Amino acid sequence: MAGDKAEVLALAPKPTIVGPLEKVFTVHKLWEAPDRDAFLAGVAPRVRAIASAGGHAPVDAALMGRLPHLEIVSSFGVGYDHVDAKWAGQHGIVVTNTPDVLTEEVADTALGLMLCTVREFPQAERYLRDGKWTARNYPLSKATMRNRTVGIVGLGRIGKAIARRIEAMGVPVVYCGRNRQPDVAYRYYDDLVAMARDVDILMVVTPGGAATKDLINAAVLEALGPDGILINMSRGSVVDEPALIAALRDKKILSAGLDVFVNEPEVPDELMAMEHVVLFPHLGSASLHTRQAMDQLVVDNLVAWAAGKPPLTPVAETPWPAKRK
């Protein structure tokens, strides 16, 4: 077996990942198979790794269980709720993601989305393009960053990068999460509803998955109040979308800025029709610079593993070295 290339199952047609992998590995392209079940049955005994190019292709127990020699899943993106990492860890399979290389980009996007939502910048730009400025000035924005407090839900790497930017604007920051963070001085809340009641802007950057599904629910939005603004940079599943639509429609909150949605790329018609919200098409890390770095980290994790070295960024549920049953 010495000198043989390890065999990798690639789940999505992403040339910037698949191309570099083909220089090092034998790559099986699942999307090209007319009969996926038959294809998987044929390659399963030889596949030792999965390259997952994003969150739209689930890497669940059913898939991993079909690959008896699977050792690693290298996933694109900092979020990995599409991978059953708990099951993987229990079966000695390492899961990696692509943190850090996207932190600052996502934080930049979050700040931009927040400012667009608070100051109505997209609406003002549409107003100008529609030729309305020649008749009268755009109305004064209802909200401002002045005299506001931002509550961050999930103060991880990205949450802290966002907090630094907000703090530099002279805006107070508080946060809510599973645990108090020892390296920050921001006020900590262990009760999300209580924090929502005390802040003016709720910035959501917590991981997705079952544990946070519908975390931002009707009670949280009610506590945020009629002058409150919700910004979601995490996963669409974290926000109870019907409850949000109702809160916006009934003016229980002032506005929302959303970069993520429950059924992407589909966006509810009710949100599309609302002029007082700002909607981004999941732009968080979407620059050439950052996406190239994320692609490379997917590849680098697999290259390190194939060389017998520790993967660069294993997730918490699957620490290295893995212990197979």
**CB burial string 108-131: b at 16+ within 10 A, e below:** bbbbbbbebbbebebbbeebeeee
Record the tokens describing residue 149, joined without a space: 């407090």
Q: Is 129 in the active site?
A: no
Compute the distance between CA of residue 88 and CA of residue 80 in angstroms, rounded to an integer.
12
| CB 57 within 8 Å of CB 17 | no
What's phi and psi for 314, nearest 5 deg?
A: -70, 145
Compute the distance between CA of residue 94 and CA of residue 320 in angstroms, rounded to an integer.
7
Q: List the catalytic residue out of 48, 82, 148, 235.
A: 235
| CB 58 within 8 Å of CB 79 | no
| CB 248 within 8 Å of CB 256 | yes
Record the tokens describing residue 151, joined without a space: 């509550």
Q: Is 264 in the active site?
A: yes
97 Cβ contact list (under 8 Å, min separation 6)? 75, 76, 77, 78, 79, 80, 313, 315
Record the tokens describing residue 93, joined without a space: 């399979």
| CB 97 within 8 Å of CB 78 | yes
| CB 66 within 8 Å of CB 42 | no
Q: Which residue type is seen at 141?
A: S
Q: Is 82 in the active site?
A: no
Q: List the catalytic residue out of 56, 164, 178, 264.
A: 264
Catalytic residues: 235, 264, 282
